[in-house]
Amino acid sequence: MTLDKVKKEIPLYIKVNEEDNVATIVNSGGLKEGTLFNCGLELQEFIPEGHKVTLTDLEQGEAIIRYREVIGYAEVPIKKGSWVRENDVKLPTPPQLDELPIATKVKEELPPLEGYTFEGYRNADGSAGIKNILGITTSVQCVAGVLDYTVSKIKKELLPKFPNVHDVVPLNHTYGCGVAIHAPESKIPIRTLQNIATHPNFGGQVMVVGLGCEKLLPERLLSGDDPEANILSLQDQQGFMKMVDSIMNMAEERLRKLNERKRVTCPVSDLVVGLQCGGSDAFSGVTANPAVGYAADLLVRAGATVLFSEVTEVRDAVHLLTPRAINEDVGRALINEMKWYDDYLQKGEADRSANPTPGNKKGGLVNVVEKSLGSIVKSGSSPISAVLSPGEKVKEKGLIFAATPASDFVCGTLQLAAGMHLQVFTTGRGTPYSLQAAPVVKVSTRNSLKHQWSDLIDINAGQIATGEATIEEVGWELFHFILDVASGRKQTWAEHWGIHNDLTLFNPAPIT
């Protein structure tokens, strides 16, 4: 009998902490009424995979505990062995931001992890990239059609002449005109575009295509670079084909320079890795995210910078993060980002119930509190050394909170602006999300997802739930895979297929 067959026949659940009074059903397809566990627990009804079973009788109003934290209160009495449904759980109040402990549980730094490097591309400013890409920035959405047409020609006619260049990426977006360009919060999309234009994977070869009448002047994207040499305005060109030819000529000059670059050995301290989760389920916080957290600690010990984000999926667990802030200033900065986003949601008349998604709930997550507690696990245990506001570029090393919305596409765009070389993305429900400017390593929370999407999932953490692998083993596997991808020795599945999502700017300022 195969191991998989044995695992399917043995009823399994995961209890995260000894103090928890609920557990998560592991078996693919769920378990039927009357199922008896080795501990003596008997199911009172069918419970789907990933959903919670009560380990004790719960009275109305009694706290429901998972991760040793209160995820809600029972709306009705729930008998031992029953399914804990979304409607059975009352959402608890969020942590009070002005009462949070700061820098009270800063873990001692673990010994440095030495001897690890990657093969990257050294840039003139001292940074390193893991890709050799020509990124063509746009100052306004109006030019996107022309640029896409031209990039298609560049890839077909020019790129084969420059074998050391991996790709040509049009940095299209929906900003640039019809916006309140001087509104206070316009700084967020503008600095995002400024920082993406100089992403380390683009090798310092700046190129901006503008229209000529947009509110976002192309010069604002260049940070002191010579506008005449690096900006092309379509309104200055004589017809469509002249536009195309001018862009191609400008691109060819930069492709020639990029083609001269070679990979060199770089310390892991040059690496910036982003962390994100999407299509999360109840396994996210017990398989994939803990393994990512373990890998994050390894990366920090090796000198890398690690970004974790998603404000709305941190807010309800922020009381577990502020004690890890390296000092008072970092703790206050983290709280200020939470306050800013609370105000932002309030203005939009949105509340915490807007998260999780229907798919998250189908995967066993009952509310945003449970989702947040599972989400922050991917940050590992390292001290939080700095906090970034949306669109800012990272300067510090170590574990960094980069404030972003939870939206996969917006978070990815903002982490690119922060300087992320590569992103690790955990998923339980499954998503083909990816980025064109940086590889995305997809980590599944369940064996069944890896089997279903064998040609989209890079690392399977589902083995942790069935006892076939430990958190540490999957963490090390991910750590080595990250260095291999950064060095060009391995490709992610998304890179293999050439799939990616569009850049999506975060623009809280008015549209006029």
Task: Show the CA angle centred on residue 440, arms to residues 436 and 446, nearest 5°.
Answer: 145
Query: Distance (Å, rounded) from C-alpha 203 to C-alpha 232?
Result: 19
Q: How far apart are CA 187 and CA 209, in angstroms?
A: 20
Q: Where are the domains of the chain?
A: 3-92, 120-258, 272-497
- For tokens 């404000």, what's the residue? 311
Q: What pLDDT digit, counting tens, does each position of 286-342 carry?
A: 999 999 999 999 999 999 999 999 999 999 999 999 999 999 999 999 999 999 999
Position 190 pLDDT exceeds 50: yes
pLDDT tens-place string over residues 247-272:
999 999 999 999 999 999 999 999 99
What band does 3 get if pLDDT is binned at 50, 70 and 90?
A: very low
Residue 4 reports pLDDT greater than 60: no
d(CA 206, CA 137): 8
**Does residue 2 surpass a pLDDT of 60?**
no
404 pLDDT more than 70: yes
Q: What is the pLDDT of residue 463?
A: 96
What confidence tens digit (pLDDT) does each residue in 32-68 have? 999 999 999 999 999 999 999 999 999 999 999 999 9
Q: How far is CA 434 from the centre of its chain?
A: 10
At 387, which amino acid appears? V
Q: Helix 144-153 and helix 240-258: axis angle, to 10°? A: 60
DSSP per residue, 89-119 = EEPPPPPPGGG---SSS-PPPPPP--S-EEE
Residue 224 has pLDDT above 70, yes or no: no
Mean pLDDT of the chain: 95
Question: Rounded to whole angstroms, what are the CA distances from 461 to 58, 286, 295, 451, 485?
Answer: 31, 9, 12, 12, 18
Percent of the chain with pLDDT over 70: 98
* Across 452-477, average pLDDT: 97
Say whether pLDDT at 474 is over 60.
Answer: yes
- Annotation: CATH topology of 120-258: Rossmann fold (3.40.50)
Correct CATH for 3-92 of 2.30.130.110, 2.60.40.10, 3.30.565.10, 3.30.420.340: 2.30.130.110
Of 223 and 405, more confident? 405
Tell whether the model's pLDDT for residue 5 goes beyond 50.
no
Task: Using a pLDDT cut of 90, give the percent of the chain over it.
Answer: 93
- Say how far apart CA 433 and CA 412 lie, in whole Å: 10
State whether residue 30 is helix, strand or coil: coil
Residue with structure tokens 């339980």? Answer: 428
Position 6 scores a pLDDT of: 41
Taking CA atoms, 71 is separated from 10, 26, 284, 320, in Å, by 28, 20, 15, 14
Displacement of CA 237 from its chain's centroid (Å): 40
pLDDT at 488 over 50: yes
120-258 has the same fold as 3-92: no
